[in-house]
Structure formats: C-alpha cells, structure tokens
Amino acid sequence: MSLLRRAGPFAGPVRLFYVLLLLLLTSRSGAEAEGKRPRVLDSILGIRIGSPLADARARLDPVAVRQAQEPDSEENEGRGEGRKKAWTLKSTEYQSVALKANDADRVVWITGFLRPGKEIQFSRLGDLAIARATDSIAIWNVRTPEGGYRLVARGQRRRARVISLLSLAVNPIE
C-alpha cells in the first residue's frame, strides 16, 4: 500500500493544493516581489520630469533641425510661468518635442510627437492593467518620491502618436 493511501483518500489532492498555493505565493511578479512600482515610461529621449533645462538642451540641440523661437526672457520672467521650448528633430523616432521648465529651470512637462509610422503600442509604454485606457488614449498616474508624474499617450488603435509626461508634484520642482 502506498504512503498516499495510508494518509487518507484526500492526501494527494490536499498535498497538490498546498504545492499550488506555495507556487502562487512565491511566483509574484518581479515588481511585487521586490516592492518596486510597475514599469511605466518615465522619459522622452532621456528627459524626465525634474530634469534640468540645460540637460534637456544638451540632449535635444544635437539632433535638432531647428529650435522654435522663445519669447523674450524678460517677458517670461515677468509672468513667473517658466519657459516653454520646442525642437524639430532629425534622426530620432520623434518628429518634434516641446517642454516647459519652471522658474528653477526644471522640466515640468514634456511632449513628444512621433514620426508617422513610428507610433508605439500603448502596452510598450506601461502596464495597461494600471492605466485608464481606450482605443485612442492611455493615462498612467505614477507616484514617485518627488511627487509623481502622469504619462498620457494619444493615438489611434492603441498606438501612441503623441506622448506627454506631466508633473504631479504639489510643490514646484526646485
């Protein structure tokens, strides 16, 4: 008589249940197991929310065809609204990029316009299970120690043509 039969008629199924339960508990995703947040796009061409404007310029100027004119700095400073900049790009998947920096010259939002044919599937930008998504827009709100950011992807058939990162920080990034 086998050991399973001596232990009772439910010994095999009970043992199987405990093995499956153990597998379920130990097979959590890598992000959950390590206590990390799910992966969501956090930069456009290496520029993140909070990046210094000088770093953004250093990344974008070399691949720029031309840079849109910026209003007089005196006018910008008088409004206390920071600075908006735009670049038309060559040799990247983005056709153009626009951003706004706060008074401390830190990026508070950035938007990239992808070239036709270079659209990116929403699912490649982040986990759709944690996004609000339709066929034409997906929105992720991501918490960070700095206050967080919102990723917005817009396009058709769940393929992003326009990608924006927006600061969710309550206080301006300094």
**Domain coordinates of the chain in residue numbers?**
1-35, 37-167
If you average pLDDT over every residue of the chain, what do you get? Answer: 80
Q: How large a percentage of the chain has pLDDT more than 70?
A: 66
Where does the pLDDT of residue 82 fall: very low under 50, low under 70, confident under 90, or very high at 90 and above? confident
At residue 69, the pLDDT reads: 55
Predicted confidence (pLDDT) at residue 83 exceeds the cutoff of 60: yes
Torsion of CA 127, 141, 108, 58, to 10 degrees: -10
Gap between the Cα atoms of 169 and 146, Å rounded: 7
- Could you tell me where the beta strands, DSSP code E, fall in the chain? 64-67, 83-89, 94-101, 107-114, 120-121, 132-133, 137-142, 149-156, 159-167
**Residue 157 three-state SS:** coil
Per the listing, tokens 């326009």 go with 162
Percentage of residues in the chain having pLDDT higher than 90: 61
108 and 102 Cβ atoms separated by less than 8 Å: yes
The model's pLDDT over 29-56, given as tens digits with 9 standing for 90+, comes to 334 434 454 589 999 999 999 999 999 9
Amino acid in position 96: S
Say yes or no to pLDDT of 78 above 80: no
Is-above-0.75 flag for pTM? no
- Between these two residues, 65 and 26, which has the higher pLDDT value? 65
